[in-house]
Amino acid sequence: MKEGPDFTQIATLMGDPARANILTALMSGRALTASELAAEAGVTAATASSHLAKLEQGGLLLRRKQGRHRYFVLASEEVAHTIEAMMGLAANHGHLRTRQGPKDIELRTARVCYNHLAGDTGVQMFRALVSGGHIATGANGLDLTAKGAELMQRLGLPLETLAKSRAPMCRECLDWSARRSHLAGKLGRALLTHFETVGWAARVPDTRIIRFTPKGRAAFDATFAKQD
């Protein structure tokens, strides 16, 4: 018995409310300082510092020193993916943090998941890319097709730069709200960045919400048409 890796430490780290708040805040993909995270978690700086040390030690967070600030980010996309999976279980079981408000609806419509687009809009994009034959399952998992590369060129994504790093181009990430896959990986990140750069969408400050402009929404829908 007792087969397989021991995940108790990781689970314990995620199981404390203050630490869960910290992790949730970092799901926005932004680097936040220790003080910001303390406020986010609703604890004093001392307590937060202790939590952050543990999270870093446990491999969930990375710490970057910059002047007298310490910035924290999630350690990897895999960590983000696991957190989304946990949120999925929680949502499934009715552990929503708040009553469904307008904010919650916006979250479900479009939000940041670590560094890529999630929510209904993210799922819509994923399905459109698949249906259009722009991404397809290859021997190494999901990958960009030639047709897909063409589309990205047309949109103006710097594919050559993306190709340089060895990280996977496409990854699936299970969306906690829509309960379907959306696109993660380098491409997912690049697309979200692109939408922000060209002004189709912008993040609502201090939240994970992404808000599309009317024009941006129209352009997005034209590019990634809804599937039945």
Partner DNA sequence: TTCATAGTTCGATGCTAATCAAAGCATCAC
Partner DNA sequence: GTGATGCTTTGATTAGCATCGAACTATGAA
Question: Using CB under 8 A, which residues numbered 135 to 174 contact a copy of itself?
Answer: 135-142, 172, 174
Q: Residue 11, interface with DNA (CB under 7 A)? A: no
User: CA triplet 98, 100, 103: central angle to 5 degrees?
Assistant: 90
Determine how many CB atoms are found less than 10 A away from the CB of residue 5: 6
Site string for a copy of itself, 85-114 (x = CB under 8 A): xxxxxxxxx-xxxx----x---x---x---
Q: Residue 228, interface with a copy of itself (CB under 8 A)? A: yes
Nearest distance from residue 39's CB to DNA, in Å?
9
Q: Which is nearer to DNA, 16 or 106 (CB)?
A: 16
| Sheet bearing 61-66, strands edge to edge | 32-33, 69-74, 61-66
Q: Give the whole-angstrom CA distance, residue 67 versus residue 75.
A: 21
Q: Classify residue 201 by its DSSP letter.
A: E
Cα 83 to its chain centre, rounded Å, is 10
Residue 210 belongs to what H/E stretch? strand 210-212
Region of residue 89 (phi > 0: left; psi between -120 and 50: alpha; otherwise: beta)? alpha
Q: Which of 81, 194, 211, 217 binds a copy of itself (CB under 8 A)?
A: 81
Retrieve residue 227's tokens: 């599937």
Q: Residue 47, interface with DNA (CB under 7 A)? A: yes
Q: Give the whole-angstrom CA distance, residue 128 versus residue 57.
A: 40
Site string for a copy of itself, 33-72 (x = CB under 8 A): -------x-----------------xxx------------
Hunting for tokens 């400050």 — which residue is that? 205
Q: What does 49 interact with, of a copy of itself, DNA, none (CB < 5 to 8 A by kind)?
A: DNA
Q: Which residues bind a copy of itself (CB under 8 A)?
A: 1-17, 20-21, 24-25, 27, 40, 58-60, 78-79, 81-83, 85-93, 95-98, 103, 107, 111, 127, 130-131, 135-142, 172, 174, 176, 180-181, 206-209, 227-228
Q: Which residues bind DNA (CB under 7 A)?
A: 12, 16-18, 33-36, 43-54, 63, 67-70
